[in-house]
Amino acid sequence: MKRVGFTLKVRADKLDEYKKHHQQVWPEMLDALRETGWHNYSLFLRNDGVLFGYFETPHSLEQAQSLMAEKEINTKWQEFMAPFFDANARPDEMFLELEEVFHLA
């Protein structure tokens, strides 16, 4: 299993709404994540909008993203989430992958 860490930046004026939507992620989206190998997926948000994400997968980040991109529900979720970020791209295309430098097993 590969451990993947990444960052994104949520708009400061959208933090509360972003957190609210992640308290009830669409069931179809959760199913798609599980089906495509996203396990132990967590998001952590600083009060300045810096978002750290972590998940485990049998795939590379690129492969995991590609599998999700095939899911219609992912397209709908990414379009729904796009206004929470400043960039002109889908949020799942903006992940800045972090290098793992230590892991205590």
pLDDT digits (tens, 9 = 90+) for 28-66: 999 999 999 999 999 999 999 999 999 999 999 999 999
Taking only the tens place, the pLDDT of each residue in 55-100 is 999 999 999 999 999 999 999 999 999 999 987 788 999 999 999 9
pLDDT of residue 85: 94
pLDDT of residue 26: 98
104 in a structural domain? no
Q: How many domains does the chain have?
A: 1
37 in a structural domain? yes
Phi and psi torsions of 41, nearest 5°: -80, 125
pLDDT of residue 101: 97
Cα(47)–Cα(49) distance, rounded to whole angstroms?
Answer: 5
Specify whether 22 is catalytic.
Answer: yes
48 in a structural domain? yes
pLDDT of residue 8: 96
The one catalytic residue among 22, 39, 59, 103:
22
Instruction: Name the residue range of residue 50's domain.
Output: 2-98
90 in a structural domain? yes
Q: What is the pTM of this model?
A: 0.92
103 in a structural domain? no
User: What is the CATH classification number for the domain harbouring 52?
Assistant: 3.30.70.100
